[in-house]
């Protein structure tokens, strides 16, 4: 009788041979169980990222790739012995997703606006967290304008063109939470002075929020208002 351990190994190998995308499944699992909880302090918004982003990604390939890219960088951070492996996967999905989404931004509709907006949010984090080359600067990459800077402009266009639709879409709670947090931050800034936003950014416990430097935060605020 075949031992269970032998059967398990045979089963795993046969699935790999059959083309089951185990690498992508690992990244998706990590996003849903770990990465999503680092993206926001509100449990309701965490749940939106954990459930709605992958679900919408089943319809829009570029969004699924943004999910996988961010998860890959997350795993690279916590598994330094496999750093190059996960970064390579992340960059592959990041670049592929960026190409797909960029081609759609001029043709944004009520149907695809939520996917494009969430893509821009996830990809902004990815662009800031991904490794830099010796030819990269914060605002300019070796390929020209930094992709995160391009995405900020794209996000502004998405918000201006479809804000009403976004407020009624699957990520509506994200906007409600954001508006409430904005009011609280503006009130705190009024009381505490101009250094409040920088202190808030630097004290964040989120892995990816921590990558937002003072310059990035200032530019993001200018581009989206």
Residue 207 has a pLDDT of: 37
What pTM, to 2 d.p., does this model score?
Answer: 0.71
Residue 172 has a pLDDT of: 86
The DSSP output letter for 133 is P
Q: Indicate whether 5 pLDDT > 70.
A: no
What is the mean predicted confidence (pLDDT) over 157-165? Answer: 87
What is the mean predicted confidence (pLDDT) over 73-82? Answer: 95
Q: What are phi and psi of 58, to 5 degrees?
A: -65, -25
What is the mean predicted confidence (pLDDT) over 137-153? Answer: 54
Q: In whole angstroms, what is the distance from residue 138 CA to residue 6 CA?
A: 51
Domain boundaries, the chain: 4-171
Q: In whole angstroms, what is the distance from residue 24 CA to residue 134 CA?
A: 29
Q: What are phi and psi of 145, to 5 degrees?
A: -60, 135
What is the mean predicted confidence (pLDDT) over 119-136? Answer: 79
Q: In whole angstroms, what is the distance from residue 178 CA to residue 86 CA?
A: 31
Residue 191 tokens read as 């009381």
Q: In whole angstroms, what is the distance from residue 189 CA to residue 118 CA?
A: 27
- Percent of the chain surpassing pLDDT 90: 37
Contact (CB, 8 A) for 124 and 152: yes
Average pLDDT of the chain is 76
């Amino acid at each position: 009788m075949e031992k269970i351990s032998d059967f398990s190994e045979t089963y795993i190998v046969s699935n790999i041979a059959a083309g089951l995308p185990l690498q992508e499944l690992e990244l998706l699992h990590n996003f849903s169980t770990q990465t999503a909880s680092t993206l926001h302090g509100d449990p309701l918004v965490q749940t939106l990222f954990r459930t709605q982003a992958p679900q919408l990604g089943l319809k829009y390939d570029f969004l699924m790739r943004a999910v996988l890219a961010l998860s890959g960088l997350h795993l690279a951070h916590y598994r330094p012995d496999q750093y190059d492996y996960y970064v390579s996967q992340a960059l592959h999905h990041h670049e592929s997703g960026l190409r797909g989404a960029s081609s759609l931004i001029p043709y944004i509709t009520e149907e695809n606006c939520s996917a494009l907006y969430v893509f821009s949010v996830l990809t902004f984090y990815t662009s800031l967290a991904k490794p830099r080359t010796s030819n990269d600067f914060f605002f300019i990459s070796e390929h020209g304008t930094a992709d995160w800077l391009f995405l900020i402009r794209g996000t502004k266009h998405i918000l201006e063109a479809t804000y009403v639709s976004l407020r009624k879409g699957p990520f509506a709670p994200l906007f409600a939470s954001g508006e409430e947090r904005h009011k609280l931050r503006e009130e705190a800034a009024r009381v505490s002075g101009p250094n409040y936003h920088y202190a808030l950014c630097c004290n964040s416990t989120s892995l990816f929020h921590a990558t937002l430097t003072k310059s990035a935060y200032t530019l993001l605020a200018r581009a989206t208002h």
